[in-house]
Chain A
């Protein structure tokens, strides 16, 4: 059972455009929602994270929007750059400290 559903599986955006990745969850016990970025041949690395008591968090060009009632959250990459081309994973943490990942979104930013 996939507890965190992520979409789209891939997306292509022009340099300077906005990349948007969406995630949905069902387990209301999740209380911490990080996003990880993975480059080819590397392990995932934490990019940004949010707790459900906050509706939005911004760090540089990366913004998480969180809708607790809809059990959805999204990552927005503003002014996308070729260096942002990577696979992005949303995740959710339960009180038991198990981090469950979404299926991943491969982002390609064209120059």
Chain B
């Protein structure tokens, strides 16, 4: 298995532009997570899905952020409009939920720079 695949690896955009980050989870996994990593705030959970359904989006910073999971093999995180403070590494992770042993498999992340 290729693991969790994220694209793009790097994204540089200007303030006000729309940004879409993409994730392909590991085949067979039923949970998907979006995390944001910054020096100041560490790893923050933004949203997670179980069986393609959003379960908890309390970590989504504001309405400019949205996430979708149209099927078991694809998810997107969209920022519209983007702002410089959104600059961070965004990770997608997936897991096979088996009663509490939550082993997350992370992708390599998308480095987002908003100028």
Contact = CB atoms under 8 A, between A and B. Distances in A.
Interface of A: 31-32, 34, 36, 41-46, 49, 89, 93, 95-104
A43 B106 contact: yes
B45 A43 contact: no
30 contacts: A31-B100, A32-B100, A41-B109, A42-B106, A42-B109, A43-B4, A43-B91, A43-B93, A43-B107, A43-B108, A44-B43, A44-B91, A44-B106, A46-B104, A49-B101, A49-B103, A89-B42, A96-B56, A97-B48, A97-B97, A98-B45, A98-B48, A98-B56, A99-B33, A99-B45, A99-B102, A99-B104, A101-B42, A101-B43, A104-B43
Interface residues of B, number: 22
Interface in B30-48: 31, 33, 42-43, 45, 48
Q: Chain B at the A interface: mostly helix, strand, loop or mixed?
A: strand
A32 B42 contact: no
Contact of B101 (A32, A36, A89): A32
